[in-house]
């Protein structure tokens, strides 16, 4: 934990996506989701903690009835490849076989965690399963995984803000910034 505010703030290198840009993309995504799932049982699922801010804003941009669910998941890797084993430390309350499920993710980097979560959720046979991610770093991918709705594609940078942390700090920033490594 770093209690030196000056030092913490110095690590915010530059804003790469503004609050306004995020707002606009989320409004568009909320509209698309509302149109696509109109009249269907919809469950928005986030994997904690990074996506909590995105989920809070996206669910309020969805204008049709929907349920919200959260999971805590940890993947295990053998060297550079995913073992496919996900440890779920907090599971969904809902039985996904009754829902069209949209995973609401903060960022897809290597893709391993979400790939394992997707396998697990698919095995539970939801009515459908899609991914919406705020940020996508396709250059870093090590497994084949594409988001159905990536809001922003970014280069290989370590980013913070809008739910994304570095050592548990910066999640409360209202924008996405590059972290000064």
Catalytic residue list: 109
173 binds ligand 5GP (CB under 6 A): no
Minimum distance of ligand 5GP from residue 135's CB (angstroms): 8
Minimum distance of ligand 5GP from residue 59's CB (angstroms): 18
| Backbone phi, psi, residue 20, to 5° | -65, -45
Residue among 17, 26, 96, 109 that touches ligand 5GP (CB under 6 A): 109
Minimum distance of ligand 5GP from residue 34's CB (angstroms): 25
Minimum distance of ligand 5GP from residue 6's CB (angstroms): 21
Residue among 103, 160, 176, 177 that touches ligand 5GP (CB under 6 A): 160
Q: What angle do CA 164, 104, 160 make, to 5 degrees?
A: 10
Residue among 72, 122, 158, 172 that touches ligand 5GP (CB under 6 A): 158
163 binds ligand 5GP (CB under 6 A): no
Dig out the tokens for 107 from the structure: 């960022």
Which residue's CB is nearer to ligand 5GP, number 62 or number 159?
Answer: 159
Residue among 58, 70, 104, 111 that touches ligand 5GP (CB under 6 A): 111
Binding mask 12-51 for ligand 5GP (x = CB under 6 A): --------------------------------------x-
Secondary structure (H, E, C), the chain: CCCCHHHHHHCEEEEEECHHHHHHHHHHHHHHHHHHCCCCCEEEEEECCCCHHHHHHHHHHCCCCCEEEEEEEEEEEECCEEEEEEEEEECCCCCHHHCEEEEEEEEECCCHHHHHHHHHHHHCCCCEEEEEEEEECHHHCCCCCCCCEEEEECCCCCEEECCECECCECCCCCCEEEECC
In the complex, which residues of this chain contact ligand 5GP (CB under 6 A)? 50, 106-114, 158-160, 164-166
């Amino acid at each position: 934990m770093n209690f030196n505010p000056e030092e913490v703030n110095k690590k915010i290198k530059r804003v790469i996506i503004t609050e306004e840009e995020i707002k606009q993309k989320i409004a568009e995504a909320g509209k698309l989701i509302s149109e696509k799932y109109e009249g269907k049982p919809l469950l928005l699922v986030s994997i904690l903690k990074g996506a909590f801010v995105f989920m809070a804003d996206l669910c309020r941009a969805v204008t049709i009835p929907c349920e919200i669910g959260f999971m805590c998941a940890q993947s295990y890797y053998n060297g550079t490849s995913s073992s496919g084993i996900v440890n779920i430390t907090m599971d969904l309350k809902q039985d996904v076989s009754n829902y069209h499920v949209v995973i609401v993710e903060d960022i897809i980097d290597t893709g391993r965690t979400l790939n394992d979560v997707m396998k697990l959720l698919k095995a539970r046979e939801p009515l459908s399963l899609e991914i919406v991610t705020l940020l996508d770093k396709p250059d870093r991918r090590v497994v084949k995984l594409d988001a159905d709705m990536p809001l922003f594609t970014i280069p290989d940078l370590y980013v913070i803000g809008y739910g994304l942390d570095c050592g548990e700090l910066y999640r409360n920033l209202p924008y996405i910034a590059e972290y000064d490594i």
